[in-house]
Amino acid sequence: MKIIDLTHTFTEDMPVYPGDPKSSLQQVAHLEKDTYNDFKLETFMHVGTHMDAPFHMIEGGKKIDEIAPEKFIGSGVLINVQGKKEISVESVKNKKIGEDSVVLLYTGRARFYRSDEYYNDLPFLTEDFAREMVNLKVRMLGMDMLGPDLDSPWPTHKILLGNEILIFENLTNLDQLLNIEKFEVIALPPKLKTDAAPVRVVALVKD
């Protein structure tokens, strides 16, 4: 079994969504001085590779801790949308997407992750694309970009989360899945009573 890590490393200089406070990751204890190592993390939930739960946009929606663990695992389907500014339902035509699939959108933007270019000329998902994900009854939708919407009122977020389709954003290494037909996705967030959480996302590929 080959495991492909689709997660950005969380570091002390982590980029954040424009306008959000910067995250802080500091070592507060050192082995040579304190006999152990320890770190302190201060962050918004929507930093780095993270997962949105329904409560993020939906009144009364589930928080991360209320989601059943089996929801975080599923058969993966990669959709190559490189070069597309508007990601519409046309992108999934002729793609076999089964119920409870985990759909991953490869834009190629992960290469810009720690630069200003990452926030410029952003692609976005159309509402018809989001509705098609609902019609197909997918389990989760992940992407190697900032998120599915450009701005408020966040229509595609609300369509997806309103139907309990989990969203995970800021993925990386999706290019390693381009020629792989079958793989499993595991996206496990910590069990936090929050609207979102950092998440470790991996793809499992049979040799």
Report the pLDDT value the prediction gives residue 94, as an integer from 0 to 100.
87
User: Is pLDDT at 150 greater than 90 in this prediction?
Assistant: no
* C-alpha distance across the termini of the chain, in Å: 5
pLDDT for 151 equals 87
Q: CA 38 to CA 133: how far, in whole Å? A: 42
Count, in order, helices (H) and strands (E) of the chain. 3, 13
Q: What integer is the mean pLDDT of 96-116?
A: 97
Q: Are 16 and 22 in contact (CB under 8 A)?
A: yes
Q: Are strands 2-5 and 73-80 parallel, antiparallel or unpaired?
A: unpaired
Q: Which domain holds residue 47?
A: 2-205
Q: Considering its fold, how many domains does the chain have in total?
A: 1
**Mean pLDDT, range 13-24, rounded to an integer:** 92
pLDDT of res. 207: 79
Q: Residue 193 is encoded by which pair of tokens?
A: 């009573």
Residue 18 has pLDDT above 90, yes or no: no
Q: How confident is the model at residue 167 (pLDDT cuts 50, 70, 90)?
A: very high
Task: Give the pLDDT confidence of 174-202 residue by residue, as tens digits.
Answer: 999 999 989 999 999 999 999 999 999 99
Q: Calculate what percentage of the chain has a pLDDT beyond 90.
A: 93
CATH number at residue 76: 3.50.30.50
The mean per-residue pLDDT over the stretch 4-15 comes to 96
Place of tokens 């689709």: 6
Q: What is the mean pLDDT of residues 22-51?
A: 97
- Give yes or no for a contact between 102 and 138, defined as CB atoms under 8 angstroms apart: yes
pTM of the model: 0.96
Which tokens belong to 173? 């290494």
